[in-house]
């Protein structure tokens, strides 16, 4: 049995068009060619695919089942052709974007939809390392682009560009002792357990915003928020993560007399010595084009 793509395309056209003559017009072929192609396919498969007893041919149950399989084969072939075309055009087959914590995903959703439409054959990998772990991935070539909070000691091998800033309000559960104080002092925060985000490497970034004498380390902002809701300590959490929790009364914002809400810069990172492919360059430029200025807030 030697099935051809032409046979499968003819089968699909005949089924979708409702007649062999309509399929012939759609394919730009003579009706006799379509009829012969379908007949030869039936011979090759040993099945009757169309019931020809009525004015218009209709799929038999076997024909409907074969058509469903043929659709998958044709879709895979179309994907293969598109991928080959992109590779020939210099488009990389795979791109890895490392994001400092998965809390950034809602902000990136629309941009990733545009990426998927523009580069449908590119495999996009999203990873969520934290702090220095993200830089390590870029240095090792495990990721091509990164989105990270501004770091204290960036590697000279990593290029970066501002993507704006994120406000990090101080929050606690409503029944936490700190919630009863109108204005907090440094001593108040130092004396209470602090919940902090950590990566898997104990670098300088881990201690950057530490105030509490006792700290619990949690891998991810969403995990920190859940711990705060349970009254296990206080924390600074990205403002865009707090709307629902604040509206439901699960957490409250605190006011300190010695500082405003902390603000963290957000940066796009890439390796200086490793050129990006076409898809990577597009994603990089799309991220930078989204920026409205060096102090753009992305809390919305």
Provide the b/e sequence for 186-200 (b: ≥16 CB within 10 Å).
Answer: eebbeebbbbbbbbe
- CATH architecture, domain defined by 94-165+265-290: 3-Layer(aba) Sandwich (3.40)
The Cα–Cα gap between 13 and 268 comes to: 47
Q: If DSSP codes are grouped into helix, strand and coil, which group holds residue 269?
A: strand
Q: How confident is the model at residue 9 (pLDDT cuts 50, 70, 90)?
A: very high
Same fold, 94-165+265-290 and 169-261: yes
The model's pLDDT over 119-131, given as tens digits with 9 standing for 90+, comes to 988 999 999 887 7
pLDDT greater than 60 at residue 259: yes
pLDDT greater than 50 at residue 276: yes
The model's pLDDT over 129-172, given as tens digits with 9 standing for 90+, comes to 877 788 899 999 999 999 988 876 678 899 999 988 888 899 99
CA distances from 124 to 60, 127, 134, 156 (A): 40, 10, 17, 26
pLDDT greater than 80 at residue 271: yes
- The DSSP element (H or E) to which 216 belongs, if any, is strand 215-218
Q: If DSSP codes are grouped into helix, strand and coil, which group holds residue 193?
A: coil
pLDDT at position 298: 47
Closest CA to 270 of 130, 166, 155: 155
Calculate mean pLDDT across residues 204-226: 82
Residues written for the chain? 300
DSSP H helical ranges for the chain: 5-17, 20-27, 31-45, 61-88, 105-118, 132-140, 186-190, 221-229, 243-247, 278-290
Calculate mean pLDDT across residues 87-99: 86
pLDDT at position 152: 65
pLDDT greater than 60 at residue 300: no
pLDDT at position 203: 59
pLDDT greater than 60 at residue 282: yes
Calculate mean pLDDT across residues 31-53: 94
- CATH architecture, domain defined by 5-88: Orthogonal Bundle (1.10)
The dotted CATH code for 169-261 is 3.40.190.290
Residue for token pair 């830089």 = 135
The Cα–Cα gap between 62 and 125 comes to: 39
Calculate mean pLDDT across residues 166-189: 91
pLDDT at position 154: 75
Calculate mean pLDDT across residues 91-107: 81
Calculate mean pLDDT across residues 170-194: 91
CB 124 within 8 Å of CB 97: yes
Domain borders along the chain are 5-88, 94-165+265-290, 169-261
What number of other Cβ atoms are within 10 A of residue 40's Cβ?
14
Q: What is the mean pLDDT of the chain?
A: 87
């Amino acid at each position: 049995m030697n099935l051809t793509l032409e046979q499968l395309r003819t089968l699909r056209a005949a089924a979708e068009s409702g007649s062999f003559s309509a399929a012939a017009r759609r394919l730009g072929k003579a009706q006799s060619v379509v009829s012969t192609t379908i007949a030869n396919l039936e011979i090759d498969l040993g099945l009757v695919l169309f019931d020809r007893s009525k004015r218009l041919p209709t799929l038999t149950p076997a024909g409907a089942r074969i058509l469903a399989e043929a659709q998958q084969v044709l879709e895979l072939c179309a994907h293969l052709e598109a991928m080959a075309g992109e590779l020939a055009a210099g488009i990389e087959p795979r791109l890895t974007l490392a994001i400092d914590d998965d809390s950034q995903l809602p902000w990136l959703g629309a941009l990733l939809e545009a990426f998927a439409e523009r580069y449908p054959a590119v495999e996009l990998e999203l990873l969520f390392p934290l702090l220095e772990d993200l830089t390590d991935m870029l240095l090792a070539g495990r990721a091509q682009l990164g989105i990270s909070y501004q770091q204290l000691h960036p590697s000279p091998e990593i290029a970066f560009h501002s993507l704006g800033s994120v406000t990090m309000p101080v929050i606690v559960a409503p029944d936490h002792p700190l919630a009863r104080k109108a204005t907090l002092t440094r001593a108040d925060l130092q004396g209470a357990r602090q919940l902090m985000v950590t990566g898997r490497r104990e670098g300088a970034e881990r201690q950057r915003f530490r105030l509490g004498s006792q700290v619990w380390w949690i891998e991810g902002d969403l995990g920190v928020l859940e711990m705060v809701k349970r009254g296990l300590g206080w924390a600074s959490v990205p403002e865009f993560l707090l709307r629902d929790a604040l509206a439901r009364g699960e957490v409250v914002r605190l006011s300190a007399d010695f500082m405003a809400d902390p603000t963290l810069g957000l940066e796009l990172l890439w390796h200086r010595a490793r050129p990006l492919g076409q898809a990577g360059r597009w994603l990089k430029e799309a991220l930078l084009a989204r920026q409205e200025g060096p102090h753009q807030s992305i809390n919305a």
